[in-house]
């Protein structure tokens, strides 16, 4: 009898719910009829302008300025080598990493087509080749010419001995700035130390790498803001979306923004964290350590977090963690508040999960926190790819 009364109560509650929710759609709680939402080009154009002019170009401008500060710190070091000068270079390196890592949600266009991403951020390094260049001082081996081809062994060899991580290798050791009087523990490339005997070559190598980093940042900023391949800037072609660079419509541009976010969410979870994790749990401990990006500086965790913040910046239309009125977040919140909340939550959950990994990551590769971070990145990737992007595409006029 008690069971029957309970079932009757549940039936009545269900009828009440059906009566009060008539006309609602389980897609979201935004407009009266969300299935008829049609997003116009004018709405997207405001978002694209904000994205380009308040996220992408300022990020690359910041990168340019900080790479110049890094270059000047290297010049100061080579003029008067000291432990304090080494520390100053390391501080400048860490400062320059922030805009670079927060740009990785938009690794499309010039940064990819011109090979500027691997120029500045190739990983892992060829440590043996770096030592050979220190000995030979053949600085031309850091450069390549012609059209970029990611399958070219010659180009790849040059990119593996330059960029942020080569300078990191030359300036950091075990998470700390190198010193001018350290003694090498072995003759292995990874154990090489700065010494007065090779101070000139070491300093010259640092200068060549810093100069190339500055040139790459300058080129990247110029391609987006001034001219690309002799024509209009990449930004103007992107915003016009009338066929230039393959963008035929505003929604094409929006899809590219989301694809960039999907790519970096996947890379952080499955490659930057996942590859070292897989190697480690399969007994390849040394290979796992060398697969960890930024392990010389112990900056891996912050690099990965900034990658997630690059997704936040692209979605929020800002670089300060606040949602701009002309942003994908504001647009989605207008029509589908539930989805917007899900995306925001997934972004923050991924960032928090990465920060929860014990420091340094290279010493805690196979911990439970790493597993949680991989899961969070995977969930973010799936939400962006399988929910957010289809929603916008299907609701575009």
Neighbours of 125 (CB within 10 A): 21
Right CATH for 246-394 from 1.20.1420.20, 1.20.1250.20, 3.30.420.40, 1.10.10.10:
1.20.1420.20
Q: pLDDT per residue over 297-321, tens digit each?
A: 999 999 999 999 999 999 999 999 9
Q: What is the pTM of this model?
A: 0.90
- Domain 41-233 and domain 246-394, same fold? Reply is yes
Neighbours of 148 (CB within 10 A): 16
Q: What is the CA radius of gyration of the chain?
A: 25
The domain spans of the chain are 41-233, 246-394
pLDDT of residue 186: 57
Whether the bond into 118 is cis, omega within 30 of 0: no
Report the relative pairing of strands 176-177 and 172-173 from DSSP bridges. antiparallel
Instruction: Write out the chain's pLDDT in tens, 397 residues.
Output: 433 433 334 333 443 343 344 444 444 445 555 567 899 999 999 999 999 999 999 999 999 999 999 999 999 999 999 999 999 999 999 999 999 999 999 999 999 999 999 999 999 999 999 999 999 999 999 999 999 999 999 999 999 999 999 999 999 999 999 999 876 665 677 778 898 768 899 999 999 999 999 999 999 999 999 999 999 999 999 999 999 999 999 999 999 999 999 999 999 999 999 999 999 999 999 999 999 999 999 999 999 999 999 999 999 999 999 999 999 999 999 999 999 999 999 999 999 999 999 999 999 999 999 999 999 999 999 999 999 999 999 999 8
Answer whether 44's CB lies under 8 Å from 254's CB: yes
Q: How far apart are CA 166 and CA 174, in angstroms?
A: 15
- The CATH class, in words, for 41-233 is mainly alpha
Neighbours of 236 (CB within 10 A): 16
Residues 6+ positions from 152 with CB-CB distance below 8 Å: 144
Instruction: Give percent of the chain with pLDDT exceeding 90.
Output: 86
> For the chain, how many residues are written?
397
């Amino acid at each position: 009898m008690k069971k029957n009364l309970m079932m009757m109560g549940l039936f009545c509650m269900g009828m009440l719910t059906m009566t009060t929710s008539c006309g609602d759609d389980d897609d979201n709680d935004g407009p009266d009829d969300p299935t008829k939402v049609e997003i116009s080009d004018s709405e997207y154009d405001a978002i694209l302008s904000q994205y380009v002019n308040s996220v992408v170009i300022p990020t690359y401008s910041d990168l340019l300025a900080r790479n110049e500060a890094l270059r000047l710190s290297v010049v100061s070091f080579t003029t008067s080598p000291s432990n304090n000068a080494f520390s100053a270079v390391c501080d400048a390196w860490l400062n320059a990493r922030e805009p670079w890592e927060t740009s990785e949600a938009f690794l499309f266009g010039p940064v990819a087509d011109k090979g500027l991403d691997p120029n500045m951020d190739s990983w892992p390094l060829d440590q043996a080749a770096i030592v050979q260049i220190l000995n030979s001082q053949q600085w031309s081996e850091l450069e390549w010419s012609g059209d970029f081809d990611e399958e070219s062994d010659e180009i790849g060899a040059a990119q593996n001995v330059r960029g942020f991580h080569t300078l990191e290798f030359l300036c950091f050791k075990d998470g700390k700035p190198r010193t001018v009087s350290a003694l090498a523990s072995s003759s292995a490339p990874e154990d090489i130390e700065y010494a007065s005997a090779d101070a000139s070559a070491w300093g010259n190598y640092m200068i060549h790498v810093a100069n190339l980093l500055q040139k790459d940042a300058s080129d990247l900023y110029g391609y987006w803001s001034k001219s690309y391949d002799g024509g209009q800037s990449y930004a103007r072609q992107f915003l016009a979306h009338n066929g230039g660079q393959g963008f035929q419509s505003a929604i094409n541009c929006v899809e590219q923004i989301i694809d960039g976010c999907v790519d970096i969410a996947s890379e952080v979870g499955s490659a930057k964290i996942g590859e070292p994790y897989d190697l480690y749990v399969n007994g390849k401990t040394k290979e796992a350590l060398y697969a960890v990006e930024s392990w010389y500086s112990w900056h891996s965790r912050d690099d990965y977090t900034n990658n997630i913040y690059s997704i936040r910046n692209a979605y929020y239309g800002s670089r300060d963690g606040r949602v701009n009125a002309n942003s994908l977040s504001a647009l989605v919140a207008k029509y589908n508040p539930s989805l917007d909340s899900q995306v925001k939550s997934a972004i923050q959950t991924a960032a928090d999960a990465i920060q929860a990994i014990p420091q340094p990551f290279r010493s805690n590769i196979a911990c439970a926190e790493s597993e949680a971070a991989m899961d969070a990145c995977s969930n973010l990737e799936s939400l962006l790819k399988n929910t957010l992007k289809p929603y916008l595409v299907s609701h575009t006029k």
